[in-house]
Amino acid sequence: MAIDPSRFHLVNVADTCSVWNVLSSVALHSAAKEARCEFCITSFVRYECLTKPRKKTPTVAETELMRRLAQEQRRGGFAAHSCDIGDLQAIKLLESRKRLGKGELSSIAFAMKIGQAVITDDQKARKLAEVSGHTHIQTTPHLFSWLIFKGRLGDSDKRTVIAQHRAMDRPLAPHFEAAYEIALQCRLNAPP
């Protein structure tokens, strides 16, 4: 799925990976908030992020990301929404089609229900959302590309975003590099 840096839906239902990827860079998250992007999550995603027992002790980076999410929720960001019976039935239907976690499935189902974008960095989840007929599918690199294109992040911010992201042990640095190049190309081709 190709990204269009000139367009980005402002209201997003985030799955677990995208929560961590957005929060991994203070510069990225701050720019997104300044650009009026809103992120919400399902109760399943909140559980996966903050409550679910882990097999091993969380790393320093994981603990910091959990702290950032809890802090952001206290400020009103990443509001958690419960799924009702209909949502759960949709999740069951989706689950039978792909091997995905409840967080990704609930995010797709809730985004479809409320007619907003789902932001996921999981390739299988994006594919499932697409084949389920959901048209608003976005990624964290797409967000980054849009913020560059719109001038909310400058060229000098690229290194900061990528360094902060890497410092939290997140895997999207090569995708941010590619998204940056796409944003520059799109900016060059944009009409004056």
pLDDT tens across 11-34, in order? Answer: 999 999 999 999 999 999 999 999
- Determine, yes or no, domain membership for 43: yes
- Determine, yes or no, domain membership for 189: no
pLDDT the model gives residue 97: 59
- Determine, yes or no, domain membership for 106: yes
- Determine, yes or no, domain membership for 121: yes
Helices (H), the chain: 16-23, 26-34, 43-46, 60-74, 85-95, 102-114, 123-131, 140-149, 157-167, 173-189
pLDDT tens digits along 28-68: 999 999 999 999 999 999 999 999 999 999 999 999 999 99
Decide: residue 6, CB within 10 A, 0-12 exposed, 13-18 middle, 19+ buried. middle
- The CATH number assigned to the domain holding 33 equals 3.40.50.1010
- Determine, yes or no, domain membership for 31: yes
Cα–Cα nearest to 28, from 146, 107, 136, 118? 146
User: 14 vs 62, 101, 183, CA distance in Å?
Assistant: 17, 13, 22
Could you list the residue range(s) of the whole structural domain that residue 108 is in?
A: 11-140
- Determine, yes or no, domain membership for 146: no
Tally the domains of the chain: 1
Would you state the structure tokens that stand for residue 108, as one six-digit string? 């797709």
- Determine, yes or no, domain membership for 51: yes
- Determine, yes or no, domain membership for 161: no
